[in-house]
Amino acid sequence: MELIMPGLGVIFWMTLAFAIVVYILRRYAWKPILNTIKDREDNIRRSLKRSEKIEKEIKELKETKERIVSETNHEKVNIIEQAKKARDEILKEAREKAIEESKKIIEESKKIIEVERKKAEAQIKKEIAVLSIDMAEKILVSELSDKQRHKQLVLDSLEKISLN
């Protein structure tokens, strides 16, 4: 019987002791402990959320970067292509111009050459005229110095001429 009969004394002290333990632990132990645990859990939750956000942002940044890089690449290719085109055009133009210019130059030079030639020709003609007069002069002079032969010549000629 003694074993299963609650005793007033123990109940009284137990109630007192347990109530005090509940009070002390509630006030001085569970409050800080549970608050800290909750804080930590919130912290972890927040950090996870933040890291998730950051990850997302990083992903977005990466995408933006890739987009920009690809755009830049595209642009680069475009620019290069355009540059090539421009260069070709310029070259072509330059070549055409050069050809035209050279043609012009050649033409002009031809004209000049022609004029010069004509000039030279005229000069040469003049010179030849002078020279031939000189030579004729000299020939005439030398021919005329031999009076005997001239007399002969004239006599021969006169002989041939028959007075018919």
Applying CB under 8 A, does 28 fall inside the site for other proteins? yes
Closer residue to other proteins, CB minimum distance, 39 or 101: 39
Applying CB under 8 A, does 49 fall inside the site for other proteins? no
Number of separate helices (H) and strands (E) present in the chain: 3, 0
What is the longest distance spanned by two Cα atoms in the chain? 212
- The residues, any chain, with a CB within 8 Å of residue 144's CB and separated by 6 or more, are 150
Applying CB under 8 A, does 26 fall inside the site for other proteins? yes
CA neighbor of 6 nearest in space, from 21, 15, 22, 20: 15
What is the total count of residues that contact other proteins (CB under 8 A)?
Answer: 37
Amino acid at 11: I
Of 9-17, 75-83, 96-104, 141-149, the segment contacting other proteins by CB under 8 A is: 9-17
Closer residue to other proteins, CB minimum distance, 13 or 118: 13
Closer residue to other proteins, CB minimum distance, 25 or 68: 25
CA neighbor of 119 nearest in space, from 130, 127, 108: 127
Question: Which residues of this protein are in contact with other proteins, per CB under 8 A?
Answer: 1-15, 17-22, 24-26, 28-34, 36-37, 39-40, 42-43
